[in-house]
């Protein structure tokens, strides 16, 4: 591999990582106090006070975060701004590796303390990709206007290997988890309307005939399981494989909202192609890389656990690699090596939790969320690459019971307290700034309406009441 043939790849990789960091911090900024502030749903300050007593000196290793030194509301917002600034400077070509280190530390600080709201696969992917980013350029103060350094061949190989692991495992988990709907290719007949946040196009794609859905599933398996191998073969085969990988990401973007996941994946896909595939080159790349003895460090750290995850996904019950578990536990707090695979088990129904308030216990009004289904006439939104994390987590909670999601008690408490940060995560407060006397969570079954229903009523959704999701909460008397 001649690194001079990968100028465009080096530029795309570096700018994709910088842009993804920026979007991640920008998306988190308007939500951070509602989710993690002192009056938020899962306060980081409260969590660290508990862990400080339980973990003592080990707390810095098990929960690596700068929030140990300060976790007030101003600090949470400050870290978002620091991350946005550092990622912007990295994109502009200013001391790239130093800026990526700042981004990595800030985002790891959030993920380590973010609990369920920062536990998504793209959060892990950003940190794993971000760890590689620490070695993309020499550690020195410099400015290459909109430029970057050419990647060391070992680093470029690790980027491509990360893409291989991501795509291949995404296909394998769908087969190893023994979900019959994937094996008989009917999974996509459920996917478009049961996924967390569908787009308007998903409504119409769901109406396509079942043979189309089965063909789509077969093509998806061919892409996820076959193209990662074909992309390693130089020439037209490589271009063909990358084209299909990009095609899959575009389809996902058009039909679902998955934060900055697709941006990260698209950057990884395009990194595979040499300049000869593009037919041109660029002049924004400095041909100076880090020394080989430095580049080999992430390879030694990451390749063994990556092979572990691939083997474990293929042979889940095998115990032959259990000798690696201590090493895996050693790496875990830093989130720099992760398994991947969305929708291993396809959800086939769409329960939704509806938050309701009342002043008399008889007449109940719905609180509206910005993006998750609620009002039957509310069309599915297009919100990516922003991720509304409360809306997302409500989808997961609906698939489980109240006892598995006791954080919802905190939502009720903050609404009773009229926390402006938590109320800011909602679209509509039916009580217009006053706290109701009662709150409850009700479970409904949602589905897309038929085209006929849509034409007659204007409803995108149909719902049926399934019963109470949890207890009714009563506000303490003033």
Per DSSP, the chain holds a count of helices (H) and strands (E) of: 22, 7
Distance CA 75, CA 86 (A): 16
| 267 shares its domain with 355 | no
73 domain-assigned? yes
pLDDT in tens, 9-24: 999 999 999 999 999 9
- Other Cβ atoms less than 10 A from the Cβ of 177: the count is 15
Please name the helix (run of DSSP H) or strand (run of DSSP E) that holds residue 445, with its range, or none: strand 438-448
pLDDT of residue 317: 86
Distance, C-alpha 450 to centroid of its chain: 31
316 domain-assigned? yes
| 316 shares its domain with 205 | yes
pLDDT of residue 4: 58
340 domain-assigned? no
Distance CA 31, CA 210 (A): 39
Distance CA 440, CA 418 (A): 16
339 domain-assigned? no
Where in the sequence is the domain holding 329, given as residue range(s)? 3-334
| 176 shares its domain with 303 | yes
Distance, C-alpha 105 to centroid of its chain: 18
| 240 shares its domain with 172 | yes
Residues of the chain with pLDDT under 70: 1-4, 477-478
Count of residues making up the chain: 478
| 368 shares its domain with 306 | no
pLDDT of residue 3: 53
| 72 shares its domain with 193 | yes
Domain termination site, one of 334, 360, 391: 334
| 131 shares its domain with 273 | yes
Characterize the bridge pairing of strands 438-448 and 461-468.
antiparallel
Domain count within the chain:
2
Distance CA 87, CA 97 (A): 10
Characterize the bridge pairing of strands 461-468 and 365-366.
unpaired
Distance CA 432, CA 357 (A): 12
341 domain-assigned? no
Where would I find the H helices in 93-195?
A: 96-113, 121-133, 153-176, 180-183, 188-194
| 227 shares its domain with 301 | yes
pLDDT of residue 280: 87
| 187 shares its domain with 313 | yes
pLDDT of residue 478: 54
Domain termination site, one of 303, 334, 365: 334
Domain termination site, one of 334, 364, 379: 334
What 3-state class would DSSP assign to 440?
A: strand
| 65 shares its domain with 19 | yes
DSSP output for 448-478: EPPHHHHHHH--SEEEEEEEESSPPEEPPP-
Structure tokens at 166: 């991501």
Distance CA 267, CA 252 (A): 15
| 303 shares its domain with 180 | yes
Residues 6+ apart with CB under 8 A from 452: none
End-to-end CA distance of the chain: 71
Residue 422's closest CA among 38, 12, 99, 14?
38
| 215 shares its domain with 318 | yes
């Amino acid at each position: 591999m001649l690194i001079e043939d990968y100028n465009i790849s080096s530029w795309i990789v570096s700018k994709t990582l910088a842009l993804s960091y920026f979007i991640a911090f920008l998306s988190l900024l308007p939500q951070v106090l509602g989710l993690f502030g002192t009056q938020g749903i899962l306060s980081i300050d409260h969590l660290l006070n508990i862990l400080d007593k339980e973990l003592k000196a080990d707390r810095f290793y098990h929960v690596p975060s700068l929030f140990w030194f300060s976790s007030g509301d101003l600090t949470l917002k400050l870290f978002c701004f620091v991350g946005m600034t550092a990622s912007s400077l990295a994109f502009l070509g200013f001391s790239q590796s130093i800026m990526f280190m700042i981004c990595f530390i800030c985002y790891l600080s959030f993920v380590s303390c973010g609990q369920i709201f920062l536990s998504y696969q793209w959060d892990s992917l950003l940190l794993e990709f971000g760890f590689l980013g620490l070695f993309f350029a020499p550690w020195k103060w410099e400015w290459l206007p909109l430029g970057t350094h050419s990647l060391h061949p070992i680093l470029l190989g690790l980027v491509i290997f990360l893409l291989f692991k991501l795509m291949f495992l995404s296909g394998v988990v769908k087969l190893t988890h023994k979900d019959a709907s994937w094996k008989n290719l009917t999974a996509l007949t459920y996917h478009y309307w049961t996924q967390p946040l569908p787009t308007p196009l998903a409504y119409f794609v769901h109406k396509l005939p079942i043979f189309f859905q089965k063909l789509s599933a077969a093509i998806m398996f061919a892409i996820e399981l076959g193209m990662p191998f074909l992309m390693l073969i130089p020439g037209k085969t490589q271009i063909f494989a990358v084209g299909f990988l990009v095609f899959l990401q575009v389809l996902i973007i058009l039909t679902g909202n998955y934060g900055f996941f697709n941006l990260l994946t698209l950057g990884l896909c395009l990194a595979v192609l040499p300049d000869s595939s593009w037919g041109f080159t660029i002049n924004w790349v400095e041909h100076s890389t880090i020394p080989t003895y430095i580049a080999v460090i992430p390879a030694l750290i990451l390749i063994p656990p990556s092979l572990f995850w691939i083997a474990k996904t293929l042979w889940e019950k095998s115990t032959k690699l259990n000798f690696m578990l201590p090493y895996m536990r050693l790496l875990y707090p830093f989130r720099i090596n992760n398994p991947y695979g969305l929708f291993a088990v396809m959800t086939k129904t769409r329960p939704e939790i509806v938050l309701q308030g009342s002043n008399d216990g008889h007449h109940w009004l719905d609180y509206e969320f910005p993006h998750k289904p609620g009002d039957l006439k509310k069309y599915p939104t297009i919100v990516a690459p922003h991720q509304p994390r409360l809306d997302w987590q409500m989808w997961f909670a609906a698939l489980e019971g109240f006892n598995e999601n006791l954080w919802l008690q905190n939502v009720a408490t903050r609404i009773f307290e009229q926390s402006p940060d938590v109320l800011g995560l909602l679209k509509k407060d039916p009580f217009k700034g006053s706290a109701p006397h009662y709150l409850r969570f009700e479970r409904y079954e949602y589905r897309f309406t038929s085209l006929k229903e849509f034409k007659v009523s204007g409803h995108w959704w149909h719902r049926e009441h399934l019963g109470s999701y949890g207890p009714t909460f009563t506000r303490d008397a003033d």
